[in-house]
Amino acid sequence: MPPIFSSDRLPTKEHYFKIKRLLNPDKNSRGIIYHRGADIELRDDTDVELDFRNESNFVYLTGVEEAGFHVVIDLFTDLVYLIPPTVPDNEVLWSGAPDNAAALLQKYDADAIVSEADLPGLLMQIDPNVIHILDTTDTTALCEAGVDFDRLEFTALKIAMHEARLTKFPWEIELVRYACHISSHAHIALMQHVKPRQMERELEARFRWECARNGMHRQCYLPIVASGPRAATLHYTKNNQIIPSGPHSLVLVDAGGERRCYGSDVTRTFPSSGTFSPEAKTIYEIVLKAQEAVLEKLKPGVLWTDMHQLVVRILSHELVRIGILVNADPEELVEMGVIRAFYFHGTGHSVGLDVHDVGGRGAGILSCNSSAKNGKSSTSSSVSKQQLLTKPLEEHMVITVEPGLYFNETSLAMWTKVPYLRKYFNMDRIEQYRPVGGVRIEDTVLITSDGIENLTIAPKTVKDIEAVMALDRQH
Ligand code: GLY
Ligand code: MN
Ligand code: MN
């Protein structure tokens, strides 16, 4: 597939036809889809614009990354009407002239451009008996056009949208692949430039810069640059501490850029000194073993709950092997869910226009209270609550695989204070490993017809990371 440039028109009408198949409208009915993109917002009490990123469902339907557009799609004629925002003359002085209709039709996969002033006329002309919107759609324009709200349908479009977004077209995969490859290179750059006593923010800035100079000026989510004990905080985004220089000191970087709004989600964990300490290496290789076991098994038909359970089993057995978990058979510990003291998130999720993409969203972080009541837990029900993917894997899905192990103070305190659980934790051994902080290894992968394509190409074995870090270190 040729590269997709910033100026290329994305064939988003393919998305409309996919959604139409899923909506399966009555052939005689006259329905439309209406949706409105996000608008620019200002800082309170100022005229300073907040950073803008369009709403993902609108991007899915139209490819429009600019603010203030609406779309009407006629389910009978399949015509896509794009409605740009009205720009008053005095605003043109400040912001420049907007694109004319011809330019918009070049940029976007639409059939006609309609002004906001003509939207009521368009709606009157189509006279739809059903208007499919999302529960989040801003309906102000419909209200102003005097639309009968009894005709609004809030549910079917959302269901169809989530289903459609779960599997990707080749051009969407190309965008995600690009985002993953550039993000992988940005991770390598951080491995090569990290040094103890540096600010975490400096690595964040370099990551953003590496992405931006390769056409990805926006991040898919706030980068996490978590050094030392902060690596045990899953969504640490303050990035405002100094990277420690201790022998165990790891830096966990969870960051991914986005290309034309298509994202990537990548985590690498590496030693600030360039060399893993024995304890850091042990924990790191356990997490890698769990990740590689899942990557080997992935293919269409696989259940995500089984993959999570595989990670739980490997991590539990390995923590018994190194003496952190004690006084029980590993399988008993698996059944009790004790590993959640060290591993308290799901094993992955769908990625696309959002980092936690639609199509099986709804994870929760579990505590010991909800997972191992009275020393027993229903492994299957607690695991299913953690899942971000709820249906068997299909070809063309893009998902993450992201096991981790964390020495998180709050989690450990919660678990080890429960009297009937305390005996399973070897506190001396935990103290030995606590300075490691946390390890997560996260790849974004594509499900193919018989396995995966790993879209993430940053090194991840201890040997490869140490080799990359030894190369060109700018100390
Ligand atoms: N970056 C967020 C996550 O890994 O899910
Ligand atoms: Mn993730
Ligand atoms: Mn991540």
Give the CATH number, domain containing residue 94. 3.40.350.10
Give the pLDDT confidence score for residue 5 in this predicted structure: 80
Is residue 30 in a domain?
A: yes
Residue 395, number of CB atoms within 10 A of its CB: 14
Query: In this structure, are 66 and 182 located in the same domain?
Result: no
Check: CB of residue 82 under 8 Å from CB of residue 112.
yes
Residue 133, burial from CB neighbour count under 10 angstroms (0-12, 13-18, 19+): buried
242-265 tens-digit pLDDT: 999 988 899 999 999 999 999 999
Query: In this structure, are 208 and 302 located in the same domain?
Result: yes
71's enclosing H/E stretch is strand 70-74
Give the residue among 437, 465, 442, 468 at the shortest CA–CA distance from 455.
Answer: 442
Distance of CA 315 to the CA centre of its chain: 24
DSSP codes, 354-371: SSS-SSS-------HHHH
> Which ligand 1 atom minimizes the distance to the CA of 349?
5
* Å from CA of 52 to ligand 2 middle: 23
Confidence class for position 427, pLDDT limits 50, 70, 90: very high
Is residue 68 in a domain?
A: yes
Confidence class for position 473, pLDDT limits 50, 70, 90: low
Is residue 408 in a domain?
A: yes
- What b/e sequence results for 141-152 when a residue is b if at least 16 CB atoms lie within 10 Å of its CB, and e otherwise? bbeeeebeeeee
Give the pLDDT confidence score for residue 366 in this predicted structure: 34
Cα angle at 222 between 217 and 225, to 5 degrees?
110
Q: For 84, which DSSP code?
A: P
Strand partners, 439: 405
Verify whether ligand 1 is closer than 6 Å to residue 355 (CB atom).
yes
365 has a pLDDT exceeding 50: no
Is residue 1 in a domain?
A: no
Tell me the C-alpha to C-alpha distance, in Å, between residue 267 and each of 85, 117, 223, 235, 314.
Answer: 39, 47, 10, 12, 20
* Å from CA of 471 to ligand 1 middle: 28
Give the pLDDT mean for 426-442.
97
Give the pLDDT mean for 131-139.
97
Give the pLDDT mean for 99-115.
98
Is residue 156 in a domain?
A: yes
384 has a pLDDT exceeding 50: no
Which residue minimizes the CA distance to atom 3 of ligand 1?
265
Query: In this structure, are 255 and 359 located in the same domain?
Result: yes
Give the pLDDT confidence score for residue 388 in this predicted structure: 63
Q: For 243, which DSSP code?
A: P
Is residue 4 in a domain?
A: no
Number of domains in the chain: 2
* Å from CA of 286 to ligand 1 middle: 20
Distance CA 465, CA 269 (A): 9
Check: CB of residue 31 under 8 Å from CB of residue 127.
no
Domain CATH for 450: 3.90.230.10
Give the pLDDT mean for 143-161.
95
> Which ligand 1 atom minimizes the distance to the CA of 255?
1
452 has a pLDDT exceeding 50: yes
Q: Is the dihedral of CA 143, 147, 150, 154 positive or negative?
A: negative
Query: In this structure, are 147 and 216 located in the same domain?
Result: no
**Nearest 5°: phi and psi at 100?**
-85, 175
Query: In this structure, are 220 and 327 located in the same domain?
Result: yes
Half-sphere exposure of 3 (CA within 13 A, CB side): 9
Give the chain's mean pLDDT. 92
Confidence class for position 360, pLDDT limits 50, 70, 90: low
Query: In this structure, are 295 and 389 located in the same domain?
Result: yes
The pair of structure tokens assigned to 72 is 């009407």
Check: CB of residue 439 under 8 Å from CB of residue 433.
no
Verify whether ligand 1 is closer than 6 Å to residue 357 (CB atom).
no
387 has a pLDDT exceeding 80: no
390 has a pLDDT exceeding 70: yes
Give the pLDDT mean for 229-238.
97
Beta strand pairing status for 438-440 and 70-74? unpaired
Give the pLDDT confidence score for residue 362 in this predicted structure: 40
Instruction: Collect all residues with Cβ–Cβ distance below 8 Å to 475 and sequence separation of at least 6.
Output: 195
Beta strand pairing status for 130-132 and 152-153? parallel
**Nearest 5°: phi and psi at 205?**
-60, -40
Verify whether ligand 1 is closer than 6 Å to residue 265 (CB atom).
yes
Is residue 401 in a domain?
A: yes
Is residue 5 in a domain?
A: no
> In a 3-state reduction of DSSP, which class is residue 239?
coil
257's enclosing H/E stretch is strand 257-258
Least confident of 27-41, 284-298, 372-386: 372-386
368 has a pLDDT exceeding 90: no
Domain boundary among 134, 149, 164: 164
Of 388 and 260, the one with more pLDDT: 260
Query: In this structure, are 88 and 187 located in the same domain?
Result: no
Which residue minimizes the CA distance to atom 4 of ligand 1?
265
Domain boundary among 148, 164, 180: 164
- What's the chain's length in residues? 475
Give the pLDDT confidence score for residue 1 in this predicted structure: 74
Query: In this structure, are 121 and 230 located in the same domain?
Result: no
Query: In this structure, are 206 and 322 located in the same domain?
Result: yes
Distance CA 306, CA 294 (A): 9
- Domain, as residue range, for 158: 13-164
Give the pLDDT mean for 37-51.
96
Query: In this structure, are 339 and 447 located in the same domain?
Result: yes
Query: In this structure, are 303 and 426 located in the same domain?
Result: yes
Give the pLDDT mean for 219-243.
97
305-344 tens-digit pLDDT: 999 999 999 999 999 999 999 999 999 999 999 999 999 9
Which residue minimizes the CA distance to atom 5 of ligand 1?
356
Give the pLDDT confidence score for residue 474 in this predicted structure: 52
Residue 92, burial from CB neighbour count under 10 angstroms (0-12, 13-18, 19+): exposed
DSSP codes, 297-340: H-STT--HHHHHHHHHHHHHHHHHHTTSB-SS-HHHHHHHTGGG
The pair of structure tokens assigned to 39 is 């608008």
Give the pLDDT confidence score for residue 372 in this predicted structure: 39
Alpha helices in 127-249 (DSSP H): 140-144, 156-166, 170-193, 200-212
Domain boundary among 136, 164, 192: 164
Confidence class for position 458, pLDDT limits 50, 70, 90: very high
Confidence class for position 472, pLDDT limits 50, 70, 90: low
Instruction: Collect all residues with Cβ–Cβ distance below 8 Å to 452 and sequence separation of at least 6.
Output: 295, 298, 299, 445, 446
Confidence class for position 11, pLDDT limits 50, 70, 90: very high
Query: In this structure, are 181 and 76 located in the same domain?
Result: no
373 has a pLDDT exceeding 70: no
